[in-house]
Amino acid sequence: MEIFEQLMGGFATAATPINLMWAFLGTALGTAIGVLPGLGPAVTVAMLLPITAQVEPTASLIFFVGIYLGAMYGGSTTSILLNTPGETGTMVTALEGFKMAKSGRAGAALATSAIGSFVAGSIAIVLLTLFAPAVADWAVQLGPPEYFALMLLAFVTVSTVLGKSALRGLTALFLGLALGLVGMDQITGQVRYTGGVLEFMDGIEVVLVAVGLFAVAEAIYNAMYEGRTVSTMNRLTRVRMNRSEWKRSWPAWLRGAGMGFPFGTIPAGGTEIPTFLSYATERKLVAPQHRAEFGSTGAIEGVAGPEAANNAAATGTLVPLLALGIPTSVTTAVLLTALQNYGLNPGPQLFQTSEALVWALIASLYIGNVMLLLLNLPLIRLWVKLLLVPKPMLYAGIMVFATVGVYGMRQSAFDLFLMFAVGMLGVLMRRFDFPIAPVIVGLILGPLAEAQLRNALSIGEGNWSVFIERPLSLGLLLIVLLVLITPRLLAWRRRA
Amino acid sequence: MNPMDRSPPSSPPTQPAHSSHSVVLQVLLSLGVLGVAALLAYGATQIPSEAGYAGIGPNFLPWVVAAALLVCGGLLLHQALTGGFQDLDEASGAPRADWHAWAWVSAGVLANASLIEHIGFVLSCALCFTLAVRGLRIAEGKPGGGWMGLLRDAAIGLLLAAPVYWLFAQLLAVNLPSLTATGWI
C-alpha cells in the first residue's frame, strides 16, 4: 500500500542518527518539562522557536513534537505525586492517581500511566497514519468559505467549551484577535494599530505572547500569591503493577484510546472532555468489588483510562494540524507557528509539497513513543528528583529561558518590556478566571481566518451568501451556532 | 454582675476576602476591556476601507473585534455591578497579593529588558535571576542570606545564564547580545 511505503520512507529519515538524537532530546526535555510545574509543552516549544532559524525543518519538528509527547508523560508524574493540576489533560489523573499515591500505590499509578500512554499513543499514531492522508485528500475540496467556517468553529469551541464562563472565554478570544490585528495587513499591506511605534510594524510576536502569558505570568503570580502554598509530595513506591492491576488496566487503556483520539481530531478545544468522559465511563463500568476505591483509596481504572485518553487525544490533535492546517490547542497553534517559520503551510498541500517531512514526522512519533516508555519507567526516580529544585530557583530560571525565547526571535529589547506587560495581563487573567488558551488561538488563527474570510468573499464577489450556498460551510456554521446556543438553552431549561 | 464585665461576643477572625471577588477590581477590569474596545474603534477609524473584490477591507475585522469587545466589556460590567462575575472559580493561592515580592521579580525582568543590549545576555540574565529569586523567596517568607545570600544567588545565576548562552548562541546560532565580541560572554 502506498501509505506503508511512505511510512517506511519516513522511518528511513527519522531513524538517522541526527534525527534520533533530536527525538531523544525532545522526549527527554518534554518529560522534564512535564514533571516540573510552571512550564508546559506549548510555552517550551515557543521559547525554543528561535532555533528554527538555524536547524533544518525535519529535525526541529521532530524535536518539538518529542517535547509535546514527553510533556504528556511527565505531567502525569506530577499529578500523581504532587496533585498539581498542571496540564488540563492530567487534571483527571490527579483525582484518582493522587489518591492511589496517598495510599502507598504511587508506583502502580505511575506504571499504568506510562504503559497506558504508550499503548494509547501507539494506537493513536496508527490511526493518525491511516486518517491524516485520507483527511488531507478529502480536504482538497475545501475552499476558503469552509476553512473560515472551520476556524470559526475552532474559535468558538476553544472559548466556550473549556472553563465555566463563555463570556470570559470570548473576551479572551477577542483580545487575542485584537493582538493579531497589530501590524501590516497581509492582503492590502495596510498598517494597522501600530500607533507609530516601529516595533509593531511586524506585528506582535507569538512567542512573546505565549511566553508572557504562561511563563512570565506564572512566575509573577507565584511571587504574588503562591508564596505560602505548600505542596507535599507522596512517597514513590516500586514502579510496577501486579497481575490484578494489569487485568484492570488494559481494557481501560483501550477504551480511553478509543475515546481520546476522535476528540483530539475535532476542534473540540483540547483534552479535557475525553479525559473526563473516560473517568466517568470507568467509574460506571468498574467491577462492583472495586467500586468503593473510586475517590477513597484510588481506583487504577481511574488513572488508566484518562491517561490513555489524554495521550490519544494529544496525538489526535496532530491530524487537523497536519491535514487541514487548523490548530485545535495551544500547543498545536505554536507548532503551526514553527511550520510557518519555515515557510511551510500545513494543510492538504503539505502532504504533497513536503511529503518527506510529514512522513518523517509521523515515523518519529512511533520512535518517540517507544523512547518515552523506555525513558519513563526506569528513570522516574530521576525525574522525581527534579521536583526537589526549590521553587524560587525554578521560576527565576524560567525567566532566563523566557528571555532567550523572546529576544532570540527579533533581537528587540522592546519585546522584553512588552513581555512583562503581557505577563501582568496574564496574572490578571489568571486571577479573575479568564482562560488563556483563546488568546493564543485568536492571535495565531486570527490573521489566517481573516485571509480566508476575504478570499471567500472574493469568490462570492462580495456576497455573504457564499457561506450559505455551499453545503459544507453551511453545515459547519450551523454547528458553530449549536455550540454557542446549546449550553445556554440547557441552562435556561434547567432553571425553568 | 458588673454590666461593664459584659463584653460583646467576639466574632471569629475573618480571612481577608479573595481579591478576585472584589467588586471594585471587577468593575475596573470591565472598564479596561471597554477601554480596549474604544481604542480599537478609534484605530479602526484611521484605517481606510478599500474593499477591492472582497467587499470588505482591512478595517472590517478591527470594527468587528471592537464591537465584540464593547459587548463583552458591557456584559462583564453588568455582571460586576450585579453580584460579581458569574461562575467564578477562585484562583489558587493567597487572598491578597504580596506586592513586596512582586516588586523584586518585576525589577528583575525590567532590569533585564533595560540592560540586556548594554551588558550582554549572561550578565543581564544573571542579574534578572538574582532579583527574581530574591522576590520569590520573599514571597515564601524567607529572604535570607543578606549579602552572602545575594552573592550566592548571583553565582547561581551566572552558572545558569552562561551555559544557556553558550548553548543557544554558539551551538544553535540564536542571535543573543553579548558584552564582548568574543562570543562567550
Q: Which of the four pLDDT bands, split at 50, 70 and 90, describes residue B2?
A: low
> For an interface test with A, which of B174, B175, B176, B178 has the most A Cβ atoms less than 10 Å from its Cβ?
B174
Q: Which residue's entry shows cell 506549548?
A: A42
From B81, B108, B123, the end of a domain falls on B81
Q: Is B145 on the interface with A (CB under 8 A)?
A: no
> How near does any CA of chain A get to the CA of B109, in Å?
7
Question: Is the separation of the CB atoms in A339 and A318 below 8 Å?
Answer: no
What 3-state class would DSSP assign to A474?
helix
pLDDT tens digits, residue range A126-168? Answer: 999 888 888 888 887 888 898 899 888 888 888 887 667 889 9
Residue B57: pLDDT band by 50, 70, 90 thresholds? confident
Per-residue pLDDT, A269: 52
Q: Is B92 on the interface with A (CB under 8 A)?
A: yes
E strands within B22-159? none
Q: Chain A contact for B156, CB < 8 A?
A: yes
Q: Is B77 found in the same domain as B103?
A: no
| SS3 per residue for A410-426 | HCCHHHHHHHHHHHHHH
pLDDT of residue A1: 66
Same domain as B77, residue B104? no
Q: Which domain holds residue A135?
A: 2-495
> Which residue intervals of A140-216 are DSSP H helices?
144-160, 166-181, 206-211
Q: Measured on CA atoms in the order A379, A88, A329, B66, is the torsion positive or negative?
A: negative
Is residue B93 one of the residues assigned to a domain? no
- Of the pLDDT bands very low, low, confident and very high (cuts 50, 70, 90), residue B8 is low
Q: Which residues of B touch A458 (CB under 8 A)?
A: 52-54
Q: What is the DSSP string of B106-128?
A: HHHHHHHHHHHHHHHHHHHHHHH
Residue A448 makes CB contacts below 8 A (sequence gap 6+) with A151, A325
Examine residue B34 and state whether it is found in any structural domain, yes or no: yes
Q: Kindly state whether residue B6 falls inside one of the protein's structural domains.
A: no
Non-local CB neighbours of A151 within 8 Å, separated by 6+ positions = A326, A445, A448, A449, A452
* Confidence category of residue B65, pLDDT binned at 50, 70, 90: very high
Instruction: Identify whether the C-beta of residue A244 lies closer than 8 Å to the C-beta of residue A295.
Output: no
Chain A: nearest CA to B82, how far in angstroms?
A: 15
Low-confidence ranges of chain A (pLDDT < 70): 1, 83-90, 162-163, 231, 268-271
Inter-chain touch B29–A428, beta carbons under 8 Å = yes
CA distance A346 to A338: 11
Quick check: is B90 in a domain? no
State how many domains chain B has: 2
CA distance A393 to chain B (A): 6
Nearest Cα of chain A lies from the Cα of B13 at a distance, in angstroms, of 19
Determine contact, residues A3/A129, Cβ cutoff 8 Å.
yes
- Looking at the complex, report in whole angstroms how far the Cα of residue A88 sits from the nearest Cα belonging to chain B: 15
B62, part of any domain: yes
Report which of A431, A402, A295 is spatially closest to residue B22, judged by C-alpha positions: A431
Q: Within a domain: residue B179? A: no
The verdict on residue B9 lying in a domain is no
Residue B117 domain-assigned (yes or no): yes
Instruction: Name residues 27-56 of chain B within 8 A of A (Cβ).
Output: 29, 33, 36, 40, 43, 47-48, 50-56
Inter-chain contact A413–B173, Cβ cutoff 8 Å?
Answer: no
Burial of A230 from C-beta contacts in 10 A (0-12 / 13-18 / 19+): exposed
Split into its structural domains, chain A has a count of 1
What pLDDT, on the 0 to 100 scale, is given for residue A160? Answer: 80
Spatial distance between the Cα atoms of A67 and B152, rounded to a whole number of angstroms = 32
With 90 as the cut, is the pLDDT of residue B64 above it?
yes
Cβ–Cβ below 8 Å for B97 and A224: yes
Structural domain span for residue B73: 20-81
Read off the DSSP letter of residue B180: S
Judged by average pLDDT, the poorest of A54-68, A226-240, B19-33, B132-146 is A226-240
Choose among A38, A60, A34: nearest CA to A221: A38
**Same domain, yes or no: B106 and B158:** yes
pLDDT at B12 over 80: no
Could you say which of B69, B92, B156 has the minimum Cβ distance to residue A226? B92
Q: Report the residue of chain A nearest B43, measured CA to CA.
A: A193
DSSP H helical ranges for A432-470: 437-459, 466-469
pLDDT greater than 70 at residue B10: no
